Amino acid sequence: MIHQLRPDLQLISRLIPERSRVLDLGCGDGELLKLLERKGCTGTGVEMDPVELTAAIRAGVNVIELDLNTQLDEFGDDSYDIVVLSRTLQNVYKPREVLRQIARIAVHSVVSMPNFAHWRNRFRLLGGRMPMSKDLPFEWYDTPNIHYTSLADLEPLFQSLDLQVDRRIPLDEQGHAHKLGWLAANAFASSAVYLLHAPR
Amino acid sequence: MAEVSVRYETYGTLNAERTNAVFICHALTGDAHAAGRRPGDKRPGWWDTLIGPGKPIDTDVWFVVCPNLLGGCQGTTGPSSTNPATGEPYGLDFPLLAMSDFVTVHRRLGEHLGIERWAALVGGSLGGMQVLEWILTHPSEVDNAIVIAASSRLTAQNIAFSAVGRQAIMRDPEFRDGAFQAQGTSPDKGLSVARMMAHITYLSEDGFQSKFGREAQSGELGHNFGVDFAVESYLEHQGNSFLSRFDALSYLYLTRVMDYFDPFATPDATAALAADPAKVLVVSFDTDWRFSTEHSRRIVRHLEGARVPTSFREISSPWGHDSFLLTIDDYHRTISAFMERAAA
């Protein structure tokens, strides 16, 4: 493979057991699902962008065009082993509803989210400017991110849906696991990956 | 039926391993002439936008086969063919057909050509429905399938339009209970009205509006009951030109097949395909109101729900159902991507 795989996707792929059936919501060009094929995984991607969809089809990834906000009902209860929602929850209109759907579609899920409360963002905000960083690269008027959260505010949402956190992995700005681990992650992690499981 | 003749065309070259064969299923009023120009043709084949050298279904790569379907009127046996038992046209003695009958004849053509396995089946509208039937019933013969602007179950509205089209034909005094050929008549009025009405369902409201608006056919509106608006002239032309190439009995038989088609009705409908899956691409167009995106989503729900490797795209296009015949970049890029993958 010529281009470097996104480090956070490599990390996510390590969290997913071999031969799992995976639903990747916001799958882009299908990079994660391609990576997971090497582990004997099968599955489906979901995407809205025509260029990404075509790229995924060309890569041989099964991809379904639909809107995460309104059309996750298309997938049956427990129809997958694990659902991945990588850097997408901040883009949806109703994150709680999407998490509820994910918990219905599979017991296990991997959710990653940029951390609005990273120390650089706090400094930028103290300086009177809205946070921008490698994980939050957009101007406020031109961002697909319509919900911002700190890691500290994210876990109560999981709890409210009875989603248990099996693992939480803070990432640095490059998408590698953060050296400090979960210690003060709410201030030092640029984003975080959660492995969740839903009640049955 | 003792014997069926099939007219078909092929494009490209079958490779020595016989692994590059693509089968094209045509829609309601299509024929075997899918691509290219034959000597004297004014227009290329009906899917020439999609099939040819360097096109999304690239005939430099694929050996493409397209027959006229059973019950048709373009060279394959249909209700206006001669019944060998009587020496007369079959007329309404022709048996009612099902989607599976089309597939039976398609598969016999494959045997005749020495093709046991198809790299891809491709079809739009009724063609997509044949592809769906084929992969559900004989999945081991198919590697890839593209189902475009199709349906797995017509709605009441679909059946209603279909019924009015048939009634226009059958209530034409020249229909003569289907024996019009033997009696030297032809239900042209009925068939052209059926075609005019169906054509309205093939285009979107915006498509009609942008093509014709309220323009007068001849400069200014004459305020009469004749063909006054441009859109009326267009429909008149569609209805009349249809008469030279289509048979009223084929229209009855083929539309009726669509009405009854319901391949997911049985609980084990997807079992064979799930056990030996083909890779499927389902495509719809956002302004198609004949077979809306919901029809395609239903197909996707059943296939994806049975863990068949399924991709789905809803293509944005202003042209309604007929979009599947047109050059729409995003649509063609999607088909190209899927076919390139199939060739890899």
- Which residues on chain A are in Cβ contact (under 8 Å) with B279? 62
Residue A65 phi, psi dihedral angles, 5° rounding: -80, 115
> Does B158-256 carry CATH code 1.10.1740.110?
yes
Residues in chain B: 344
Q: Measured on CA atoms in the order B190, B195, B201, B205, is the torsion positive or negative? A: negative
Using a CB-CB cut-off of 8 Å, the residues of chain B touching A79 are 304-305
A164 neighbors A130 (Cβ within 8 angstroms): no
Answer for the pair B66, B9: CB distance below 8 angstroms, yes or no.
Answer: yes
A187 touches chain B (CB under 8 A): no
pLDDT single digits (tens) B118-149? 999 999 999 999 999 999 999 999 999 999 99
Distance, CA of B142 to CA of B130 (rounded, Å): 13
Q: How far apart are the first and last CA of chain B?
A: 41
Please give the mean pLDDT across all residues of chain B.
97
Q: Is the model's pLDDT at B58 over the cut of 90?
A: yes
Cross-chain CB nearest to B305 (options A42, A61, A76): A76
Cβ-Cβ contacts under 8 Å, A20 against chain B: none
- Which residues of chain A make contact with B338, given a CB cutoff of 8 A? 57-58
Sequence-ordered alpha helix ranges (H) in chain B: 99-113, 126-137, 156-170, 188-202, 205-212, 230-243, 248-260, 271-275, 293-305, 329-343
B126-137 helix and B248-260 helix, angle to the nearest 10 degrees: 50
Contacts of A23 in chain B (CB under 8 A): none
What is the interface pTM, i.e. ipTM, of the complex? 0.94
| pLDDT tens readout for residues B202-225 | 999 999 999 999 999 998 999 999
Give the residue-averaged pLDDT of B27-43.
95
Check B80, B81, B125, B250 and give the catalytic one.
Answer: B125
Mean pLDDT, rounded, of chain A? 90
A15 against A152, higher pLDDT: A15
Identify residue B21 by its one-letter amino acid code: A
**Six token digits for residue B253:** 């038989």
Q: How far is A180 from chain B (nearest CA, A)?
A: 41
- Looking at the predicted structure, is the pLDDT value of residue A146 above 80? no
H or E, element range at A65: strand A63-65
Phi, psi of B52 (to 5 degrees): 155, 175
| pLDDT at residue A1 is higher than 60 | no
Concerning whether B223 is annotated as a catalytic residue, the answer is no
Per-residue pLDDT tens over the stretch B86-121: 999 999 999 999 999 999 999 999 999 999 999 999
Residue A154 lies in a domain: yes
Confidence of residue A3 (pLDDT cuts 50, 70, 90): low
Over the Cα atoms of chain B, what is R_g?
20
Smallest CA–CA distance, residue A100 to chain B, in Å, is 19
- The reply to whether A1 falls in a domain is no
pLDDT category, A19, cuts 50, 70, 90?
A: very high
Region B265-294: mean pLDDT is 98
Q: Using only the alpha carbons of chain A, give its radius of gyration.
A: 16
According to the model, what pLDDT value does residue A180 have?
Answer: 78
Statement: residue B83 has pLDDT above 90: yes
> Which residues numbered 251-290 in B keep a CB inside 8 Å of some CB on A?
279, 281
Question: Does B112 participate in catalysis according to the annotation?
Answer: no
Residues B143, B146, B150, B151, CA torsion sign: positive
Q: Count the neighbouring beta carbons within 10 Å of the beta carbon of residue B335.
A: 22
CATH code of the domain in which A120 resides: 3.40.50.150
Q: Is pLDDT of B2 > 80?
A: no
- Kindly determine whether residue A55 and residue B337, on different chains, have CB atoms separated by under 8 Å: yes
**Within this chain, domains B8-155+262-343 and B158-256 share the same CATH topology:** no
Write the pLDDT tens digit of every residue in A147-173.
778 888 889 999 999 999 999 999 888
Provide mean pLDDT across the span B278-300.
98
Residue A107 has pLDDT above 90, yes or no: yes
Give pLDDT, residue A121.
Answer: 79
Distance, in Å, from the CA atom of A149 to the CA atom of A97, rounded to the nearest integer, reads 16
Residue B163 CB: number of other CB atoms within 10 A? Answer: 13
Residue of B nearest to A67 (CA): B314
- Tell me whether A20 touches chain B (CB under 8 Å): no
Which residue among B305, B307, B338 places its CB closest to the CB of A57?
B338
Number of folded domains that form chain A: 1
Whether CATH 3.40.50.1820 fits B8-155+262-343: yes
Whether the CB of A10 is below 8 Å from some CB of chain B: the reply is: no
Rounded to a whole number of angstroms, the distance from the CA of A63 to the nearest CA of chain B is 5
In this predicted structure, the answer to whether residue B12 has a pLDDT above a threshold of 90 is: yes
The C-alpha angle B171, B242, B33, rounded to 5 degrees, equals 135
Closest residue, chain B, to A51 (C-alpha): B330
Any idea where the domains of chain B sit in the sequence? 8-155+262-343, 158-256
A185 inside domain: yes
Mean pLDDT of B64-77: 98
- pLDDT at A4 exceeding the cut of 70: no
CB contact under 8 A, A57 and B297: no
Contact B11, B36 (CB under 8 A): yes
B313 bridge partner residues: B283
B211 touches chain A (CB under 8 A): no
Among chain B residues, CA nearest to A61:
B311
Per the CB < 8 Å rule, is A65 touching B340?
Answer: no
Q: Which of residues 62-121 of B touch A (CB under 8 A)?
A: none
B303 interfacial to chain A (CB closer than 8 Å): no
Q: Which is it for strands B57-58 and A191-197: parallel, antiparallel or unpaired?
A: unpaired
Q: Which domain holds residue A52?
A: 7-197
Cα gap B287→B314, rounded to integer Å = 10
pLDDT higher than 50, residue B339: yes
* Known active-site residue B321: yes
Supply the DSSP string of B101-170, one letter for each residue. Answer: HHHHHHHHHHHHHT--SBSEEEEETHHHHHHHHHHHH-GGGBSEEEEES--SS--HHHHHHHHHHHHHHH
Distance CA B304, CA A39 (A): 21
Yes or no, beta carbons of A74 and B338 under 8 Å apart: no
User: Closest Cα of chain B to A41: distance in Å?
Assistant: 13
Nearest by CB to B311, which of A21, A50, A57?
Answer: A57
The yes-or-no verdict on residue B81 having pLDDT over 60 is yes
Q: What is the pLDDT of residues B237-257, one digit of tens each?
A: 999 999 999 999 999 999 999
Nearest to B143 by CA among B291, B339, B7: B339
The percentage of residues in chain A with a pLDDT greater than 70, rounded to a whole number, is: 98
Residues 6+ apart with CB under 8 A from B236: B196, B227
Which is catalytic among the residues B151, B288, B292, B295?
B288
Q: Look at A131-145, B36-50, B144-158 and tell me which has the smallest mean pLDDT.
A: A131-145
